Amino acid sequence: MTTGTITAAGRLASGVSQRPTTFGDTLASEWVKLTTLRSTFITLGAGVVLSVAMTALVSLAVGNTWDSWSPERQAQFAPILMTMSGNVILLIASAVFGALAVASEYSSGMIRLTLTATPKRGQVLLAKLLLVSSITLVLGVMTTVSMFLVGRAVLESYGISMAGLGDTDVQRLVLGLGVATPLFPIFGVALGIMLRSTAGAITAVMGMLWLPQVFGELLPAGPQKLLRLAPQSGADSLTVAHFAESPLYSDPAVGVGIVAVWLVAFVGAAYFLLNRQDA
């Protein structure tokens, strides 16, 4: 933890006896912590750059081989989905950022000073959630729009036409994926509090993100249906389900409900443990 972070938190801690720590104080302290951690800029910066770069490379690969595709394959191709191919890197980077935002405090011992400065632990959790979700929301929308614009430019340079951002379906996909970016970072924050381990929190949030998709096809039909209740399935039903045949829910409201239940469960568990356990 940097000197600036310790100083900011120390000022809050020294002021506890003088006046109650306000939410603004806590929010300012958490902002200093996040913005003075090199891992914040490295993780998120790499996620944005690599996401756009991956989309550009995949689009180039498609464009270079387009003329060799059969007419049937060309007809089935969904260029809009292709422009979002880099989203996988964005999801990983943002989820890791959410886990690091909390778990790194436990590994460094900074969490004890944080909770001394702000005895109302729910206030600390709310500040962390607000900052992590806001940062990843802004970066998520910027990245998905950038991926779309770069991917579209590359594909159209090879004569592959596609709709623009003015199209309603495109907006639902591109902006929807951007708006959904904070989902797994929030899980990362909750898991960081519950597990108190950087490696454990990152592993757990990656497992939530990928295990249902990796092993879903290996499961019998019955358990496969349960995977439709996974948080990623709920998020996907809001964004990609309308573009292709999918086992996901066609009603976006169902997806919202699934995501909301998962968020309430994880944030609620994190709040409970944060108040019950010693730092």
Q: Does a structural domain hold residue 241?
A: no
Q: Does a structural domain hold residue 257?
A: no
**Secondary structure (H, E, C), the chain:** CCHHHHHHHHHHHHCCCCCCCCHHHHHHHHHHHHHCCHHHHHHHHHHHHHHHHHHHHHHHHHHHHHHHCCHHHHHHCCHHHHCCCCHHHHHHHHHHHHHHHHHHHHHHCHHHHHHHHCCCHHHHHHHHHHHHHHHHHHHHHHHHHHHHHHHHHHHHHCCCCCCCCCCHHHHHHHHHHHHCCCHHHHHHHHHHHHHCCHHHHHHHHHHHHHHHHHHHHHCCHHHHHHHHHCHHHHHHHHHCCCCCCCCCCCCHHHHHHHHHHHHHHHHHHHHHHHHHCCC
Cα separation, 144 vs 137, whole angstroms: 11
Provide the number of structural domains found in the chain. 1
User: What's the confidence (pLDDT) of residue 140?
Assistant: 96
Q: What range does the domain containing 37 cover?
A: 3-209
User: What's the confidence (pLDDT) of residue 250?
Assistant: 59
Distances (CA, A) of 108 to 68, 111, 201: 55, 8, 15
* CA 156 from centroid of its chain's CA atoms: 29
The token pair that represents 81 in the structure block: 């989905």
User: What's the confidence (pLDDT) of residue 234?
Assistant: 78
Q: Does a structural domain hold residue 214?
A: no
Closest by CA to 52, choosing from 160, 181, 156, 140, is: 140
Whether the CB-CB separation of 216 and 227 falls below 8 Å is answered with yes
Q: Does a structural domain hold residue 57?
A: yes
Whether the CB-CB separation of 181 and 139 falls below 8 Å is answered with yes
Q: Does a structural domain hold residue 55?
A: yes
Whether the CB-CB separation of 101 and 128 falls below 8 Å is answered with yes
User: What's the confidence (pLDDT) of residue 152?
Assistant: 95
Cα separation, 63 vs 77, whole angstroms: 12
User: What's the confidence (pLDDT) of residue 18?
Assistant: 57
User: What's the confidence (pLDDT) of residue 21?
Assistant: 80
Dihedral through CA 235, CA 31, CA 200, CA 238, nearest 10?
0
pTM of the model: 0.85
Q: Does a structural domain hold residue 133?
A: yes
Count the neighbouring beta carbons within 10 Å of the beta carbon of residue 224: 15
Closest by CA to 104, choosing from 180, 10, 46, 30, is: 30
Q: List the chain pLDDT tens, one digit each, 279 residues.
A: 554 444 445 554 444 445 678 899 899 999 999 998 888 999 999 999 999 999 999 999 999 999 899 989 988 888 988 999 999 999 999 999 999 999 989 888 888 888 888 888 999 999 999 999 999 999 999 999 999 999 999 999 999 988 888 888 888 889 989 999 999 999 999 999 999 999 999 999 998 888 777 776 676 766 767 777 788 877 877 777 656 544 455 567 777 888 899 999 999 999 999 998 776
Q: Does a structural domain hold residue 12?
A: yes
Q: Does a structural domain hold residue 260?
A: no
